Every structure is written in C-alpha cells, then in structure tokens.
Structure 1
Amino acid sequence: MAPPLGIALIGGGIFMNEQHLPAALACSLISVKAVWSRSLKSAEGTAKSLADAGASVEVYSSESGSGKSYDDLLKREDIVGVIVALPIMDQPSFIEKALAAGKHVLAEKPIAKDLDTAIKLVEYYKKVSKETKATLAIAENFRFMKGWAYAAEEIKKLGRMTGFFVRLNMMMQADNKYYKTPELTIATWRTVPEYQGGFLLDGGVHYTAGLRKLLGEENAVASVIALTSLISEHLPPKDTINAILQTKTGVLGSFIQSVGTTMQANEFHIACENGYVKASPDKVITVRGLGTDAKEEEKTFERSSGVKEEVNAWAEALVSGVSNPEQTPELAIGDLELVEKMLTSGDQDGARQMLEHQ
C-alpha cells in the first residue's frame, strides 16, 4: 500500500481546528506534515492539537521568521496538497500561490468574495494547472451530507417539478464563536465584512448549494427578484433576503434567509406533480401521491457536518488523479452567483437579475 500523501493545513481558525483537522487525521490517505497561520500563536495551537493526536508537524506563520513563511512551506517536496481555510478576502491569493507551486488545493467556501474574483481565480487555475498539474477543489460540505443526495433522487421520481421554497431563519448573536473569531489577529473580518452580504454570503453559499443539488441541472435557476434589509445592526451590510426564483423550466420558488431574526426556520420543500419532498441534511420526508391516496416515507441519516466525507473525497481524488465532481470550482461559482444575484437585486430595489453559471 502506498504511503499517505503529505499535506499542510493553512489557517488556524475555528473551522480548521474543529472540522478539517480531525477530518484530515481520520483519513488514511493523507498525512499532515505542516501547519501555517498568520499568527504564530494560532499555528502553534493547531500544531498542539495535532501533536495531542499523535501527529508531529512543522509550524509556519507570518511571525515565524526566516525559513518559516507560507512561501517556504510551499517549497517542500513532501507536501503535495493544502487545505485552505482563511478569511474570505484572503483566500484567492493563497490559493493562487499554492497552485503556482504545484500543490493541490482544497479551499473552503465561498470560492471568493464576488463573482468577478471567482471567475478570475478559476481562469488563473486553468492556465497554471496546464503547467503544474495542480488541482483546485472547493470544500462545500453540504454536498457531502447524505440527505441532499437522497432527496435529489426522490424528487426525480415524483415527476415534473411544480414549485419550491426555502426558509432559513436564525439569529447570529454577537457572542457566537463564528461572529467573534477571537483567535484571529484580524478579528473584524466577519464583524466588519469587506465583502458583500456578510453572513448571508458566508453561510448562504451552503444553502444555495443545497438548493441547487435538489433542483438539479434540469431545473437550474435562470433569474431572481429579491429585496434585502438589515434587521440587526451588528450584522452589516445586510442580514435578510426575501427572493423569488424562476428556473429555466419556468418553475417559481421562494428563498427566504435571515441571520438577524428571532424567527426560527430551516426548511427546504420541493413540490412535484406526483408529490413533494421535505429535505434536510439528516432527514428526508417524501410524500407520494395526492389527497387521501398520499403516502409519507421518512428516511433518516447519521448526523454529520460532511467535512470528513469531503476531505476523504479530496484525498481519493489525489490518489486516483480524477477530480471529484462534487468539488469543482464551477459548482462553487454557481453557488456564489445565486447569492450574489439575490443581493444585487436587493441593492437595485428588486430588479430582475439573470444568471449565467447555474
């Protein structure tokens, strides 16, 4: 059996330490050789967690001095890939450097702060990969939650799609760990975002990924009309979207998301001519038939963040040389575009926005 492939973890934030780190340790196909973070303290914290699990790694950071920079890490021949989980504004430049150095990349979502930046990143990737053979995968863990895939197949069995709605309501409180990001030296990257939508983008691409999985390519969203607002002042620039989506087949649906409301909802409903599906990552309810003849079926799955599955899928792709179709940057562009067009429509007082990357 071939030895595990050497990788590095880039970023020392919450999601890296709580999700990607244990996922990497659980995958027999890869071995963590190094960590990098902007601050030495953060990098050492990640390294300690790895050491506690029996893995010995080298520490790199912006504060570590000569020979221990990000560029130095990328020069190591024993590292073939990197998992990148950095602030949204920073990720593209780190991704580009890794690709130029010939390192395979698994990068956290969203792929970039906006569609233009994402498209330029993918164009760069396609150009440089012809020389380096490095690959770019986007870590959208919702695509590896079993409920979505099962629900998508159930929807196909129910005939023509006739409508859908998504309702996602919650309160991102100021004491939430993802709001504060206290271990980062630039702790305001989420509280004072320099990217569109704030948490509506950061978390929203998860939900557009889930919806797009359920709709399928045949019912891809073609246009959106939306209004946006700011309910809770600590969540600028916007914390609420109310949108009407129309698919290329003419089906109408609604997408309501708020991270600044006291209402609670997490619902994905897809209606078809022969029944409907209520989908979630770990439970799917399928109703077949109409009226008194309708029969309800419930399928449950073990609760999972999907991160172990996505890291393992990436590692398998590195070993086989065949990219996983659920991790393509083109899919991530589609997820981002849907959020961006809803936000843009809101900025333009509900003007219809056409989509091109679905």
Structure 2
Amino acid sequence: MDPVGIAIVGGGIFVKEQHIPAALASPLLSIKAIWSRSRKTAEEAAKLVPSDAASSVDLYSSDSGEGKSYEDILKREDITGVVLALPIIDQPDYIKKALAAGKHVLAEKPIAKDIATAIELIEYYMRTSAETNASLAIAENFRFYPKWNYAAEEIKKLGKVTGFVINVVSMMETSNRYYNTPWRTTPQYQGGFLLDGGVHFTAAFRRLLGENAVESLVAQTALVSSHLPPVDSIYAVLKTKSGAVGSFIHSVGTTMSATEFYFACEKGSVKADRDKVVTTVGFGNDAVTEEKTFEYTSGVKEEVHAWGESILSGIANPDQTPGLALGDLELIEAMLKSGEQDGARQKLEHQQLV
C-alpha cells in the first residue's frame, strides 16, 4: 500500500523540530506539500526534508501568488490529510476548510481558544464528516508518553484514588524561543501560556485519573511575572465524582521548578516526575517501592504514526479524539474562570474520556 499523501501546514518551531521529522519517520506517510504564511518560512521547513524526497514536496504560502494558497493544497487529490500547527486563534478556521474539502486532519492542541469555540468546531466536524468521511484528530503528544501510560496502569492496580497533588511549576523566560513567537508574547486568548502548555498537563492528569473524572473545582489565579499576561499561575482544589479531593498547581512565572504528579490510592501511591515513576505498595514498614526510569521522548513520532494508522484503518485513535481535547481544555478554562471569579466553584461537564 502506498503511503498516505499529506501536507504540513505551518512552519514554526514545533513543525520543524517535531512534525516534519515525525512524518518522515513514518512509513505510512509521505509529505507532498508544506504551507506557511511566508514563502521564506516554508522554504526553511522544506530544508528538513532529505534531498532525495525534497523535489517531490511543493511549497505554498500566503505570499506565493496564484495557485499556491492553502485552499489550493486542499484541491489536490494526492493529498489525503493535513497536519496543522498554527496559532491557537487561527486554527479552527483552517480545520473547517480542510474537513469541508474531505481531508483528514491532525491539529495541534489545544482544540480551540475556549469551550464555546471548541464545541462549535466539534459540531461542525460531526456534520461535515457525515458527508465527506473526513476525520479530525487532535495532537496531544503527552498521551503517547510511555511514562504516563505506565503510571496510569500502576494507579489502577492500587484501587480507588483517594487524593492527588499535581505540581508543575517553572519560569517562561523572555529569552525562550517559544515566548518570542509573536502570537504567544501578546496572547489574544485566555490564560496565555497556561492554556497553550497547560492542556498538556491536564491531559496527563486526566490519563492518570482514569474514569474517575473531575466533577468540580475552585481556584485562584495570579500574574506573578509581568511579561506573562493575562495570568501565569493557577492554584486549584479539585473534587472528583468519587469524592476524592486534590490540588492542581501550575505556574509558568515562578522561580520554583518542579514536575510532580502524586496519586494516593487505597493500596499505596504512585508518583511520576520528569523521567521516572515510583510505585509504593502498602504503608509504613511494610511498604514496597519500585522505581522505573524512562528515556525522554516527545511522543510526536508516535502520535503522527498513530494518525497515519487511523487514516488507513478508518478507525479513530482513542487518544486523539476531539472529545478528549475538549475535556483537557475545559479543565484549564474552569480553573481560569474560577480565578477570575475569586474562587467561585466551577462545575465540569465534558470530562468523559471519549
């Protein structure tokens, strides 16, 4: 079977460092075109394609003239799918155009800037896919980290979750290349970097929590570092449907540094940090601890290959559904809204794992 012809839409850092190498690594996919707003950026991205394949990759951009627009890519019969990595506020429109043209879509997280936009997009997708059979997958690479999947299975073995502490804190410095992306420096969407990067951590948290979804939460938010508006820190208390209570702290503007996901269960505990998972069975002197270390992977090669498999099989990958992405977004939005309302309790409605 011939590889699926795809277009890479976007020419930013993540496209160059992750999406293009991931597509090249998958035997299921063949890059036919690259689009970016500027021809220069598209050309820079194309340099990453090996010389033996580069001649078959066509470049498109907003400034390339007639016949070289994004819409022209969507007219090509040899292009079955598109990988979209664009600014948060722009991406839904590009997704809709691709779906309307019958193209399968793998779109970077978050699914949209807010819940209202995400729901409208999903409804559009459901209507359109019934006619075109085009699929929408959301790229959340954290769901393809072996570490999170291993930790989730360890938590299941230990019975009911009784509590949790999530602590993800760091400093997004002005020298950071992602900070210096113009649409991120002056965000036109809620939460700034807390939304852009935060959905990674709500995705990981929800994977570990499993079917015991968050029911409600209260939170306070703050702007600690003035270069990270509108807010850069969340301190939240979450309550699950089973009654378990825990904390979720996420800051991109603090001098502290930590990545810790700690779950207490009936029969022990599981703690996941940057590169390892520690499982403790039992309590006190009878406790038995096991530590497993993981080599770093971005998860992007795995997620892009999985998308290729879903196109060929016609079966959506359960880790890439729009419904999952909606839940990741809702959790962040609820914390931000609670902070805006001085800690008012927020009820959640979209935490089902679909």
Fold conserved (TM > 0.5)? Answer: yes
CA distance in 2, matches of 1:41, 1:284: 43
- Please report how far the alpha carbon of residue 55 of structure 1 lies from its aligned counterpart in structure 2 after TM superposition: 3.2
Instruction: Please say if residues 154 and 277 of structure 1, whose CA atoms lie closer than 8 Å, have aligned partners that are also in contact.
Output: yes
Output the TM-score relative to the length of structure 1.
0.96
- Number of equivalenced pairs: 350
CA distance in 1, matches of 2:104, 2:180: 30
CA distance in 2, matches of 1:159, 1:245: 19
Deviations 1:134-163 (A, max 9, x none): 000000000000011111111011122110
CA distance in 2, matches of 1:318, 1:53: 25
The structure-2 alpha-carbon separation of the partners of 1:209 and 1:53, relative to structure 1 and needing over 3 Å to count, comes to: farther
- Please report how far the alpha carbon of residue 299 of structure 1 lies from its aligned counterpart in structure 2 after TM superposition: 1.5
1:3 is aligned with what amino acid? Answer: D
- Please report how far the alpha carbon of residue 284 of structure 1 lies from its aligned counterpart in structure 2 after TM superposition: 1.0
- For residue 335 of structure 1, the aligned residue among 317, 320, 328 is 328
CA distance in 1, matches of 2:313, 2:77: 19
Aligned to 1:114: 114
Instruction: Please say if residues 268 and 282 of structure 2, whose CA atoms lie closer than 8 Å, have aligned partners that are also in contact.
Output: yes
Aligned to 1:302: 295
Deviations 1:133-192 (A, max 9, x none): 0000000000000011111111011122110010011000001010012xxxxx2x1011
Aligned to 1:204: 198
Matched, 1:268 2:268: no
Structure-to-structure mapping, 1:317-328, within 5 angstroms? 317-328=310-321
Matched, 1:231 2:224: yes
- Please report how far the alpha carbon of residue 280 of structure 1 lies from its aligned counterpart in structure 2 after TM superposition: 3.9
Which has the higher mean CA deviation after the structures are superposed, 314-323 or 298-307? 298-307
Aligned to 1:41: 40
Aligned to 1:191: 185
Instruction: Please say if residues 223 and 353 of structure 1, whose CA atoms lie closer than 8 Å, have aligned partners that are also in contact.
Output: yes
1:196 is aligned with what amino acid? Answer: Q
Residue ranges of structure 2 left out of the alignment (5+ in a row)? none
CA distance in 2, matches of 1:103, 1:281: 36
1:154 is aligned with what amino acid? Answer: E
2:67 is aligned with what amino acid? Answer: G
Provide the secondary structure at the position in 2 that maps to 1:177: coil
CA distance in 2, matches of 1:53, 1:268: 44
CA distance in 1, matches of 2:51, 2:166: 42
Aligned to 1:139: 139
Aligned to 2:79: 79
CA-based RMSD: 0.9
Matched, 1:287 2:280: yes
Deviations 1:31-72 (A, max 9, x none): 000000111111111112214474331000000000000000
Provide the secondary structure at the position in 2 that maps to 1:24: helix
Aligned to 2:350: 357
CA distance in 1, matches of 2:143, 2:51: 30
Provide the secondary structure at the position in 1 that maps to 2:228: coil
**Identity over the aligned pairs, expressed in percent?**
66
Output the TM-score relative to the length of structure 2.
0.97
The structure-2 alpha-carbon separation of the partners of 1:37 and 1:297, relative to structure 1 and needing over 3 Å to count, comes to: same
CA distance in 2, matches of 1:177, 1:145: 24
Instruction: Please say if residues 40 and 63 of structure 1, whose CA atoms lie closer than 8 Å, have aligned partners that are also in contact.
Output: yes
Aligned to 1:11: 10
Deviations 1:255-276 (A, max 9, x none): 0011000001110000011110
Aligned to 2:208: 214
Provide the secondary structure at the position in 2 that maps to 1:249: coil
Instruction: Please say if residues 196 and 237 of structure 1, whose CA atoms lie closer than 8 Å, have aligned partners that are also in contact.
Output: yes
CA distance in 2, matches of 1:205, 1:110: 7
Provide the secondary structure at the position in 2 that maps to 1:257: strand
Deviations 1:200-255 (A, max 9, x none): 000000000000000001x1000010000001110000000000000011100100
Provide the secondary structure at the position in 2 that maps to 1:327: coil
Instruction: Please say if residues 170 and 265 of structure 1, whose CA atoms lie closer than 8 Å, have aligned partners that are also in contact.
Output: yes
CA distance in 1, matches of 2:202, 2:295: 22
Deviations 1:84-107 (A, max 9, x none): 000000000000000000000000
CA distance in 1, matches of 2:15, 2:87: 12
Instruction: Please say if residues 259 and 274 of structure 2, whose CA atoms lie closer than 8 Å, have aligned partners that are also in contact.
Output: no
Instruction: Please say if residues 169 and 261 of structure 1, whose CA atoms lie closer than 8 Å, have aligned partners that are also in contact.
Output: yes
Aligned structure 1 segments of 4 or more residues deviating by more than 6 angstroms = none
CA distance in 2, matches of 1:85, 1:162: 38
Residue ranges of structure 1 left out of the alignment (5+ in a row)? 182-186
Instruction: Please say if residues 345 and 353 of structure 1, whose CA atoms lie closer than 8 Å, have aligned partners that are also in contact.
Output: yes
Aligned to 1:151: 151
